Structure 1
């Protein structure tokens, strides 16, 4: 969960403080840092909801990652926001998806130079 959240935040070009501001201080930068470093394993659903809104990612997917739901319990079939079509049918682990996001960030930074 932590690596995924860090990768998504980084991909969105947001700092910890910017996320804190955009959530109306519902998610403090210190708490988000703890989440991203896996010091907090299961944030509350309202924290996940705030992050999903800021990052533009699927709330149900975050609930699954946090262990509140499993795929069979999900109320709707969801697609992952922003996932490249080439990876839509591949069941990536959370770590693999986070690594792909880090690589994408690297590739985008190379293009800017």
Structure 2
């Protein structure tokens, strides 16, 4: 991972997609089959390893549908503009783990940890 990515604390598109695939317990070949071979396992591997940083919107749409995750989020992570051009400086991004199919217990533990982090300020 590049130091700028480490400094920002944000995962790359490739890291994010790899985490979703692994959470779903899918192999690269499983995804290739699930996409009707619209996304080859080799191409997905290159995305996940950050060799391809800006896949086409069509590829992102196929992956968002396959993984049942936000297309808009993938577009933003790939560097595509998804807003109507109006900035909303008061809006904050909220991290979500919804796409990771957390159990109620895992969700509770995350909320406890968040509370702990906030209490340290």
- TM tier, smaller: 0.5 to 0.7
Q: For each residue in 1:10-58, what CA deviation from the matched residue of structure 2 results, as whole angstroms up to 9, or x when unmatched?
A: 1111100000001111100000000000000000011000100110001
Across the aligned residues of Structure 1 and Structure 2, the Cα RMSD in angstroms comes to 2.5
- The alignment status of 1:50 with 2:50, answered yes or no, reads no
Structure 1 position 64 matched with structure 2 position 50:
no
Partners of 1:14 and 1:36 lie apart in 2 by 13
Count of aligned pairs: 83
Aligned to 1:9: 21
Unaligned runs of 5+ in 2: 1-12, 86-91, 107-121
Structure 1: runs of 5 or more not aligned: 75-88, 109-113
State the structure with bigger RCO (CA 8 A, min sep 6), 1 or 2: 1
Q: Which runs of 4+ in 1 moved over 3 A?
A: 89-92
TM-score (norm 1): 0.64
TM-score normalised to structure 2 length: 0.60
Name the SS of the counterpart of 1:26 in structure 2: coil
